[in-house]
Amino acid sequence: MKISVVIPLFNKKQYICRAIESVLAQHIPADEIVVIDDGSTDGSAEEVLKINDSRIRLIQQQNSGEGATRNRGVAESKNDLVAFLDADDEWKPDFLLHIQRIYNNFPNCGAYATAYEIVESDGSKSYPLLKGIPPAPWMGIIPNLFKIMQDGSPFFPSSVAIPKNVYQELKGFPEGITQGADRMMWVRLGVKYPIAFSPSYQVVYHCEAINRVSSAFEPKPATANLIDRMLKDQEIPSVLLEDIKDYSAVLKIQKARLMVLEGHAKLARDLLKSVKQNRKYNYKFLWWYFWSLVPYPFITFIQNLRAERKGSD
């Protein structure tokens, strides 16, 4: 099995070599490493050129965004299975070995993934909740994906490999989306295909990069919009309906929470009204609807008080 690795790169000069070296250190070697430099201005491309390995291809383009960059990388890749690695993350040496094992055992899936660990800027580690997934050394099809994702995704782009034909059928990662593009991809994948998974922590998600997360304000989660459209168009299999509706409710409540804490109470209430009938998350709906009615100066007072207490601990 030959695997292409796609690394989207934008102003990650201090991290890109770490990412590439983690690919070169794999016990199962990658066939090619396609680095798409998305208009970096910090010398990131020059760092890539310093690494002497014939498998590395550096392609430079004008800044187009992360989704477009990943899609360009897949289009440029030459193999049937494509693994993704963000420029500020890294793989442990057995990541591709796990992907190969999963693929060999479950060859007809839409994606192959492992669990990951999170490293904060202070070096502390945490692990996503894998509720509903058996512990390692189990590997298999993720049971009830949308129920599991209500507690957080068990994988993320740097821990996923996708067959190129599946990727092209789904038209890749959405472009022009500043928040939630990954979740949109998982929704489209999970509705149409099984996803094979290993709960072994084979990828390191680093949180220290300054341009890791977009701060753009969006009034409604893009993934919830996608789910609403798919429900309207009857694209969701009946067996998934209840769980995907609950997952959409989670996303909307999470967004409403942020709106309340940022002073957008009216927008929060409007969004919360769309989950009013959800029975599973009715308590959370009521909790954040209540806080959306509280004057914002009092909310900021509570936030500042909590920050002071946390700082004194």
Residue 214 pLDDT: 44
Residue 118 pLDDT: 96
Residue 142 pLDDT: 96
pTM: 0.92
Domains belonging to the chain, first-starting first, are: 3-206 (3.90.550.10), 222-312 (no CATH)
Helix (H) or strand (E) holding 309: helix 296-312
Q: What is the dihedral of CA 99, 104, 107, 111, to 10 degrees?
A: -10
**Cβ(258)–Cβ(217) below 8 Å:** no
- Residue ranges in the chain modelled with pLDDT below 50: 212-216
**SS3 category, 56:** strand
Neighbour tally for 239: CB within 10 Å = 9
Residue 129 pLDDT: 87
**Cβ(308)–Cβ(270) below 8 Å:** no
Tokens of 195: 């996803």
Distance CA 246, CA 142 (A): 18
Place of tokens 């769980």: 243
Identify the DSSP state of 174: P
Distance CA 90, CA 154 (A): 17
